[in-house]
């Protein structure tokens, strides 16, 4: 078929280095950008097939998130803006690893297994982050799409969550919003302004926020959005990409893992600051306390703030909707305890990786999910959205209930439900703080984090470690869990687990305990047990 001839010809321009094997991991393919040209071309092919199969628009995002600037990566986005299904992750790996002469066979194999009609039209949205390599790599994706006769729309520089949003808007015929970057700004800023407009006496101090853009795409996009916010939020942007290197000594991952302020942010005591990661799908907050002590408000604190706010509104609105918080093993023990014992909300723990959390959150009327690293969002079931909307429009209801319902409705509009979104999360957090009249210190004081430590250990083969119970316990190698248990017993309020990383060739170790010294010592002892 002519189509396949074109694939053959074009693929020769994007040759695969012989013997190179890559894996579609937790966040797609991710490695040094020099190894990715053929992968990008092939993901263009695969996205086109996926689009034919689902008869919907598929997204391809070129980014390596918080990884160093030299790396790059690619992720496929399914029709409703969610991560691609496991079977197709498998196809992605097969296609990426097929040697040059096996490519057509691999492609035809997928077409056959999925009974794809090649006559079906295909549409693929492509986006990229600000890495120097992203230009040519996204071009390779487009080459792949066109080689199979697919239609493409190149959004150019967008955040990862913006691309997810576009895909969802497109496939819901605009019901979720308009599939343009401007449409995204308009929807979010209108919701934010509606939410905050009746908050009495918001001072300039309360409107001020310091933002670390990680020298990445988030910085660019939040600048574009600022005019839409009509001074209701006054951002001071640092690490805007004009001089510093992407993710270098800055960004959400650096701040969370190092537990310190990013380079280049001039913060005075008590000021609210936040950091995005390199593709703006994560956010963490922090401030400098008295005596310059650094205080981090991570994904767990964000989930707590948001779920507390939502629960209060549901009570005021008199809406009987079930709310749950989904976390991973990395969630600080204090947060879980607070949510379960004080807030009395359902808490679920899943494996690391957005798709697992997202999936679990879909089971509730309202599912708030956040990884401790700051990736998260809120999902509302269709029924929940309808109930909220109905009440907001019901002129017979009393003022308090109606007010709560209107706040809930605008909250729904402010949230990017497709995936964690630093910009949307930031606006939501700012709105919640304003509505509840809370300072960042008061937010921080909701509960006190247990001191914790994360380490990584290089081992010969990280795959020998197998975990269970949402990665909280190991089942192999034999004896490892017992070794961890015996070390944990020596400390107070202690917990520790190990898991093979899905994005790096390392084993990750997490430990928490009543003091930082104990958490550090426990993490160290457990990492020795991993060898």
Note the residues at the interface with ligand 16G (CB under 6 A): 26-27, 65, 352-354, 371, 373, 375, 501-504, 508
Q: With CB cut-offs between 5 and 8 Å by kind, which of ligand 16G, Zn ion, none does residue 277 bind?
A: Zn ion
Q: With CB cut-offs between 5 and 8 Å by kind, which of Zn ion, ligand 16G, none does residue 316 bind?
A: none
CB of 452 to ligand 16G, least distance (A): 15
Is 57 or 352 the residue whose CB approaches ligand 16G more closely?
352
CB of 25 to ligand 16G, least distance (A): 8
CA dihedral 444, 417, 134, 351 (to 10 degrees): 70
Of the candidates 350, 304, 308, 342, the one whose C-alpha atom is nearest the C-alpha of residue 326 is 350
- Contact status: 277 vs Zn ion (CB under 5 A): yes
In Å, how far are 56, 62, 80, 165, 529 from 172, measured between CA atoms?
A: 10, 23, 8, 11, 50
For residues 446-475, which are near Zn ion according to CB under 5 A?
Answer: none
| Whole-number Å distance between alpha carbons of 522 and 494 | 8
- Contact status: 71 vs Zn ion (CB under 5 A): no
- DSSP class of residue 505 equals S
Of the candidates 160, 162, 161, 142, the one whose C-alpha atom is nearest the C-alpha of residue 152 is 142
Is 160 or 452 the residue whose CB approaches Zn ion more closely?
160
CB of 66 to ligand 16G, least distance (A): 7
CB of 329 to ligand 16G, least distance (A): 10
Neighbours of 398 (CB within 10 A): 9
Q: With CB cut-offs between 5 and 8 Å by kind, which of ligand 16G, Zn ion, none does residue 226 bind?
A: none
Q: List the one residue from 69, 89, 253, 281 that touches Zn ion (CB under 5 A).
A: 281
Active-site residue numbers?
Answer: 65
In Å, how far are 9, 179, 190, 268, 460 from 505, measured between CA atoms?
A: 34, 37, 43, 38, 9
Q: With CB cut-offs between 5 and 8 Å by kind, which of ligand 16G, Zn ion, none does residue 502 bind?
A: ligand 16G
Find the part of the chain contacting Zn ion (CB under 5 A) among 62-70, 204-212, 265-273, 488-496. Answer: 62-70
Beta-ladder partners of 59: 77, 125
| Helices 217-226 & 181-196 angle (0-180, nearest 10) | 60
- Contact status: 279 vs Zn ion (CB under 5 A): yes
Q: With CB cut-offs between 5 and 8 Å by kind, which of Zn ion, ligand 16G, none does residue 279 bind?
A: Zn ion
SS3 letters across 97-165: HCCHHHHHHHHHHHHHHCCCCCCCCCEEEEEECCCCCHHHHHHHHHHHHHHCCCEEEEEEECCHHHHHH
Q: With CB cut-offs between 5 and 8 Å by kind, which of Zn ion, ligand 16G, none does residue 68 bind?
A: none
- Contact status: 377 vs Zn ion (CB under 5 A): no
CB of 353 to ligand 16G, least distance (A): 4
- Contact status: 444 vs Zn ion (CB under 5 A): no
**CB-neighbour burial class of residue 443 (10 A; exposed 0-12, middle 13-18, buried 19+):** buried
Is 65 or 152 the residue whose CB approaches Zn ion more closely?
65
Q: With CB cut-offs between 5 and 8 Å by kind, which of ligand 16G, Zn ion, none does residue 503 bind?
A: ligand 16G
Is 65 or 130 the residue whose CB approaches Zn ion more closely?
65
Is 306 or 404 the residue whose CB approaches ligand 16G more closely?
306
CB of 504 to ligand 16G, least distance (A): 5
Find the part of the chain contacting Zn ion (CB under 5 A) among 34-42, 61-69, 219-227, 388-396. Answer: 61-69
| Whole-number Å distance between alpha carbons of 148 and 455 | 44
Asked if residues 286 and 255 have their Cβ atoms less than 8 Å apart, the reply is yes
Asked if residues 252 and 422 have their Cβ atoms less than 8 Å apart, the reply is yes
Is 206 or 496 the residue whose CB approaches ligand 16G more closely?
496
User: How would you classify residue 180: left for phi > 0, otherwise alpha for psi between -120 and 50, otherwise beta?
Assistant: beta
- At residue 243's C-alpha, the angle toward residues 242 and 245, to 5°, is 105
* 98 half-sphere exposure, CB direction, 13 A CA radius: 22
Find the part of the chain contacting Zn ion (CB under 5 A) among 127-135, 181-189, 270-278, 381-389. Answer: 270-278
CB of 375 to Zn ion, least distance (A): 7
Binding residues (CB under 5 A) for Zn ion: these are 65, 277, 279, 281
């Amino acid at each position: 078929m002519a189509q396949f001839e074109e694939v053959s010809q074009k693929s020769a321009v994007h040759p695969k280095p012989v013997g190179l094997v890559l894996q579609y991991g937790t966040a797609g393919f991710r490695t040094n950008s020099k190894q990715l040209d053929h992968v990008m071309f092939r993901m263009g092919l695969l996205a086109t097939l996926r689009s034919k199969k689902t008869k919907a628009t598929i997204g391809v995002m070129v980014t390596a998130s918080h990884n160093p600037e030299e790396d790059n990566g690619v992720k496929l986005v399914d029709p409703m803006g969610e991560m691609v299904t496991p079977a197709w992750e498998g196809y992605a790996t097969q296609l990426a690893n097929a040697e040059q002469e096996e490519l057509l066979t691999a492609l035809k194999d997928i077409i056959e297994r999925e009974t794809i009609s090649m006559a079906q039209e295909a549409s693929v949205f492509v986006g990229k982050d600000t890495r120097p390599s992203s230009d040519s790599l996204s071009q390779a994706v487009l080459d792949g799409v066109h080689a199979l006769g697919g239609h493409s729309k190149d959004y150019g520089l967008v955040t990862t969550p913006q691309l997810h949003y576009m895909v969802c808007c497109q496939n819901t015929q605009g019901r979720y919003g308009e599939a343009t970057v401007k449409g995204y700004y308009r929807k979010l800023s209108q919701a934010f302004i509606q939410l905050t407009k009746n908050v009495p006496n918001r001072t300039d101090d309360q409107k001020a926020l310091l933002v670390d853009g990680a020298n990445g795409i988030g910085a660019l996009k939040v600048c574009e959005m600022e005019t839409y916010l009509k001074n209701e939020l006054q951002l001071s942007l640092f690490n805007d990409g004009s001089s510093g290197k992407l993710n270098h000594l800055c960004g959400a991952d650096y701040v969370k893992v190092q537990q310190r302020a990013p380079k280049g942010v001039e913060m005075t005591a008590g000021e609210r600051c936040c950091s995005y990661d390199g593709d703006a799908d994560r956010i963490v907050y922090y401030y400098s306390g008295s005596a310059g002590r650094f205080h981090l408000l991570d994904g767990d604190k964000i989930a707590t703030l948001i779920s507390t706010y939502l629960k209060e509104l549901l009570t005021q609105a008199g809406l009987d909707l079930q709310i749950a918080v989904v976390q991973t093993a990395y969630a600080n023990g204090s947060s879980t305890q607070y949510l379960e014992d004080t807030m009395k909300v359902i808490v679920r723990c899943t494996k690391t990786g957005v798709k697992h959390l997202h999936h679990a959150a879909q089971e509730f009327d309202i599912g708030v999910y956040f990884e401790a690293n700051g990736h998260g969002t809120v999902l509302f079931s269709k029924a929940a959205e309808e109930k909220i909307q109905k009440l907001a429009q019901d002129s017979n209801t009393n003022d308090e209930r109606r007010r709560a319902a209107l706040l809930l409705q605008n909250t729904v509009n402010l949230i990017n439900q497709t995936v964690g979104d630093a910009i949307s999360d930031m606006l939501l957090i700012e709105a919640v703080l304003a509505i509840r009249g809370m300072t960042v210190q008061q937010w921080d004081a909701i509960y006190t984090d247990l001191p914790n430590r994360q380490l990584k250990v290089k081992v010969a083969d990280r795959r020998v470690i197998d975990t269970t119970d949402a990665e909280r316990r190991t089942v192999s190698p034999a004896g490892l869990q017992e070794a961890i248990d015996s070390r944990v017993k020596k400390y107070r309020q202690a917990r520790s687990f190990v898991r093979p990383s899905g994005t790096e060739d390392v084993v990750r170790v997490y430990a928490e305990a009543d003091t930082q010294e104990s958490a550090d010592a426990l993490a160290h002892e457990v990492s020795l047990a991993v060898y």
